[in-house]
Amino acid sequence: MSAVSLSLDVPEPEAERVEALLWDAGATGLEIRDREAPPMPGVRGPSPGEAIVVAWFEARAPAEAALEDVKAWVPEVRALLEEAPETDWSTAWRARIRSTRVGRLWVGPPWETAPAGTVALTIEPKMAFGTGDHPTTALCLAAVEAFCSAHPGASVLDVGTGTGVLALMARKLGAIRVVGVDNDPMSVTLAQENAALNGIGGVELSGATLDAIDGRFDLVLANILANTLVELAPALVQHTRVRLVLAGVLIHQGDEVREAFERAGAVSDGGDRAGDWVRLDFRVS
């Protein structure tokens, strides 16, 4: 089967929103070329003030639909839709993965070496979200580090675990009971592979739904999109004993998501921001 690549030249400030929109539209992989991530030699780079966002889709129809969505948002977009052999996108995607440093935490691909003194997690970039370099993941990693350092032996639930990055890092930081779930079977498989790659045992990774998970957890993490978070609000609050951390929320969605969780009984307790994304923290007692 061949894949389709959609290359979009957009004003740089729009790149993150376009990226979110493309994930929403079913992209299976994404690459951004901008000032922070200049292109590999021989690959076309962005014009000044612009970024190039390349998205891969399994078929032409969702790529065309995604382009219409982007045009509605960014009318000045310049787009190129091309057939791409499936192997191409995975190679390109892998080649562009960067390691991430958050406090003393390091997350990176197998071909990079972690700096000495870091708590390091190796994530094999494949078709699951959570290689560490997305702002929403980085925001959550900071919350995991702060909470697990202050609460040795905590229990942690990671809803929408993707590659398992947050759950596995929580375990590395000393969490005792760690559960990671994802409704995408491919992500669950890859999270399990990443646990083995890092020699981490004792993390329960599965496709379980929240109603099938017993008990409450000291820390609950959910880096999912805003509409899903709102749907899951009561169940997420019910599973939290101390702290609930939400990400995957764009700035303009923050109030709506916060209010949904306050209605479900959580108490807003600050958060953080990176680019267009916010992290929302709550206390639950």
Ligand X SMILES: C[S@@+](CC[C@H](N)C(=O)[O-])C[C@H]1O[C@@H](n2cnc3c(N)ncnc32)[C@H](O)[C@@H]1O
Cβ of residue 206: shortest distance to ligand X, in angstroms?
10
Alpha-carbon torsion 185, 139, 72, 63, what sign? negative
- Residue from the set 46, 160, 254, 271 that interacts with ligand X by CB under 6 A: 160
Question: Does the footprint of ligand X cover residue 105 (CB under 6 A)?
Answer: no
Q: Is there binding between residue 223 and ligand X (CB under 6 A)?
A: yes
Structure-token match 């440093």, residue found = 101
**Contacts with ligand X in 168-187 (CB under 6 A)?**
181-184, 187
Which residues contact residue 97 at a Cβ distance below 8 angstroms, ignoring those fewer than 6 apart?
A: 108, 109, 125, 131, 133
Closest distance of CB 49 from ligand X, Å: 28
Q: Determine which residue in the list 137, 155, 194, 240 makes contact with ligand X, applying CB under 6 A.
A: 137
The beta strands (E) that lie in the chain are given as 2-11, 29-33, 50-57, 78-85, 100-102, 105-108, 119-122, 155-159, 177-181, 203-206, 217-223, 240-250, 267-274, 277-283
Alpha-carbon distance of 224 to 110, in angstroms, equals: 25
Q: According to CB under 6 A, which residues from 139 to 158 bind ligand X?
A: 140, 158
Q: Any contact of residue 159 with ligand X (CB under 6 A)?
A: yes
- Count of residues that bind ligand X according to CB under 6 A: 22
Which region, judged by CB under 6 A, interacts with ligand X, from 29-37, 54-62, 64-72, 160-168?
A: 160-168
Of the residues 28, 161, 198, 253, which one makes contact with ligand X according to CB under 6 A = 161
Task: Give contact residues for ligand X (rule: CB under 6 A).
Answer: 128-130, 136-137, 140, 158-162, 165-166, 181-184, 187, 223-224, 228, 248
